[in-house]
Amino acid sequence: MNKVVLMGRLTKDPDVRYTQAQESLCIARYTLAVDRRGSKEADFVNIVAFGKAGEFTEKYLHKGMKIALSGRIQTGSFTNKDGVKVYTTEVVAEDQEFAESKKDGAQNTTTQGSSPDGFIDIPEGIEEDLPFSQP
């Protein structure tokens, strides 16, 4: 089984490219800083997201954002311009989720009509019309 689950922050904005094929494919790459449990050190994991996951990355993820993701480890190799074989390891993102609210993150904005905790304010006297209210 090849399954990876990570939580961390993007170190910079993702690098997004599209293939030149007839059906263009989105490929997004970024590095995730993942804290080591019980330590002040972090690992910097290279992430790649293809297709819809890449489009999600392009649209919603940016530097400093805390996310949780699951995926699989992929290894590879290539020969660089000096003739040296270089080995690579990256995580192919399958699922990506936000790991904190905007309130907790770098973007601390509250939209009109919402409370500081991010929930919409319910007007006075409307409780009896809510499906989950007690009679």
Judge whether 114 lies within some domain. no
What is the extent of the structural domain holding 56?
4-100
Task: Read off the pTM.
Answer: 0.73
What token pair was written down for 35? 């804290």
In a domain, residue 113? The reply is no
CATH code (residue 21): 2.40.50.140
Domain assignment present for residue 38? The answer is yes
Domain count, the chain: 1
Average pLDDT (50-66) is: 96
Per residue in 69-114, pLDDT (tens digit) is 999 999 999 999 999 999 999 999 999 999 987 666 654 333 344 4
Residue whose C-alpha is closest to residue 12's, from 33, 39, 37: 33
Does 64 reside within a domain? yes
pLDDT digits (tens, 9 = 90+) for 7-37: 999 999 999 999 998 889 999 999 999 999 9
| Residue 34 neighbours by CB under 8 Å, 6+ apart | 6, 7, 8, 42, 43, 44, 45
Position 35 in a domain: yes
